[in-house]
Amino acid sequence: MNSKEINYTEAFEELKVIVAALEQGEITVDELSGKVERAVQLIKTCKSKLDRADEDVRRILGELNEGSTAEAADK
């Protein structure tokens, strides 16, 4: 991967390009291994970012729920 961390959108867009090229038979046998390795890296990046976002959303919702519970107890 580049020294600059790729964001989810960039990774997903690059992955779509690789998949489309595979589906259309545009990748030669010589390129195949490298493209598959890159696709695996991109999938891992996307999964990691989705997992992180899921954790953040769950944490935020938990904090909101705790705040709502505390407000209800105060009433």
- Taking a C-beta distance cutoff of 8 angstroms, is the pair 48, 40 a contact? no
The reported pLDDT for the residue numbered 72 is: 65
The reported pLDDT for the residue numbered 68 is: 74
Q: What is the pTM of this model?
A: 0.76
The two tokens of residue 3 are 């020294």
Residue for token pair 């970012």: 49
The two tokens of residue 42 are 């991109």
| Per-residue pLDDT tens listing for the chain (75 residues) | 444 789 999 999 999 999 999 999 999 999 999 999 999 999 999 999 999 999 999 999 999 988 777 666 666
pLDDT digits (tens, 9 = 90+) for 30-50: 999 999 999 999 999 999 999
